[in-house]
Chain A
Amino acid sequence: MEIKADTTVCIGAGMCALTVPKVFDQSEDEGTVVLLQDDVPQELEDAVRRAVTLCPSGALSVS
């Protein structure tokens, strides 16, 4: 699973960091999404998909 995070549309709602803190964080200054790992372990794939669904700005996508 490959995650794409577009910080230009991210609004820093923090749903990703709240849902999968092992994969997503927020930058200190702007609060925008920071990817902690590119390769998502299989056991976290469902949670990552949930985070993508919860993202209010459409900044996240997976392929």
Chain B
Amino acid sequence: MPELTMPTTRQRPLDPPDEITALRQQAAIHRMTYADGHQGWLVTGHAAARAVLASPCFSNRPEHAHPPIPSARMELATRPERLRVPPGFFLRMDPPDHTRFRRLLTGQFTVRRMKTLEPRIAEITEACLDAMEAAGPPVDLVQEFALPIPSLVICELLGVPYEEREQFQAGTKVLASLESKADDAVAALGEISAYLYGLVGRKREKPADDLLSGLIESGELSDEELTGVGVLLLIAGHETTANMLGLGTYALLTNPDQLAAMRDDPSVVDNGVEELLRHLTIIHLGPIRTALEDVEIEGVTIRAGESVTIHLPAANRDAARFTDAERLDVTRPAGGHLTFGHGIHQCLGQQLARAEMRIAYPALLRRLPGLRLAVTPEEVPMRSDMSIYGVHRLPVTW
């Protein structure tokens, strides 16, 4: 059997690499050679992906994981200081450490809580559209719309003061780009952490009606832990929804019938958002889990210590789970996709992301009914080289 390394080159911008699709059609789990030579696994099937992500036999701690592909971040990931989980970075913890943080935060991200945020998200969206209209056409939709909406929303939710946002966003920009050198990313993370540590101190002195103040009030976390939680939520809040809004708009603009359905029929929007999440699956190079003990998944024995990379775009195109899975169809029932993950680490902010997308897509399409690409689809630079997929820029006109 030839040695498999993870294919990452996409033949078509919205589809997983053809080699990945071919693998998924053969089997749900495959032996794969990792960038450091580790013999691990690649999961391409939906049911197998769910099984791994839901299993308590797998760890998400960084010291166990091997990098599936070589990257600038690989060097970063293998540095000794990165092999420990910073205080508050609950995404990379296992139970019971993870449980403690997750429990403190879930109440802040309930469906009902997100509903109460909707009017504010709508205001932010309209303000971005006003600015975009004033600036263009043409404009880069990423800079004017896709990035600022989730950025403003997460800053407000966390309690980052308005007048400090610009200085703050400079740091996240460096961090969000995988083009940044490892040292620059570490420095940016240090700066953001220092900023948030200072903010935590100020919130302790003068609490407000925001998430950080609420967490401080609970009295359960140290300042270092509060800083880590804040940094994690801030990064997650920036990169993910921004890329869904950018790539989703690209997908709609290049599929005009789907765009018309999302624009003209409000009853399609909720489901259309799920379908865009499924079809686009911006988390395209992971997640990675490592077996803590021998475990059998769909007849395959994964040995203790072996890393497993879950290919979420492949799993979300699994024909065994979704009918006509390769097609973008905003009217299909797309629930059950794995874009937010599965198991105990399933995205904490998913209901916030849904609220933002359910408001932002229709607002954009209705405000600018003549919206179209200002370049050819082939000229739009895709984030193939990034851990979160999307468009680098989206030049549009109307």
Interface residues, chain A, with chain B CB atoms under 8 Å away: 11-14, 17-19, 21, 25-32, 50, 53-54, 56-58
Contact = CB atoms under 8 A, between A and B. Distances in A.
Contacts, number: 65
Chain A interface main SS type: loop
A12 B102 contact: yes
B107 A31 contact: yes
Contact of A29 (B107, B335, B340, B346): B107
Interface residues of B, number: 25
Given A11-B102, A13-B346, A50 B335 contact: yes
Nearest to B341: A56
Contacts of A29: 107
Interface of B: 53-54, 102-103, 105-112, 335-336, 340-344, 346-348, 350-351, 354
A58 B354 CA distance: 22
A6 to B, nearest CB: 13
A25 B103 CA distance: 16
A44 B162 CA distance: 44
A56 B344 contact: yes
B336 A13 contact: no
A5 to B, nearest CB: 14
Contacts of B108: 31
A54 B335 contact: yes
Contact of A56 (B103, B112, B343): B343
Given A53-B336, A56-B341, A11 B107 contact: no
Contact of A17 (B53, B112, B336, B343): B112
A5 B208 CA distance: 34
A32 B348 CA distance: 12
Contacts of B107: 12, 26-31
A18 B350 CA distance: 11
Given A54-B335, A56-B344, A57-B344, A14 B109 contact: yes
Given A56-B54, A57-B344, A12 B110 contact: yes
A6 B280 CA distance: 33
A21 B111 CA distance: 9
A56 B341 CA distance: 8
Given A31-B106, A32-B106, A50-B335, A14 B341 contact: no
Given A11-B106, A54-B335, A18 B54 contact: no
Given A14-B111, A21-B111, A31-B108, A56 B335 contact: no
21 contacts: A11-B106, A12-B102, A12-B107, A12-B109, A13-B106, A13-B340, A14-B110, A14-B111, A14-B350, A21-B111, A26-B107, A26-B111, A27-B107, A28-B110, A30-B107, A31-B110, A32-B106, A50-B335, A56-B341, A56-B342, A58-B54
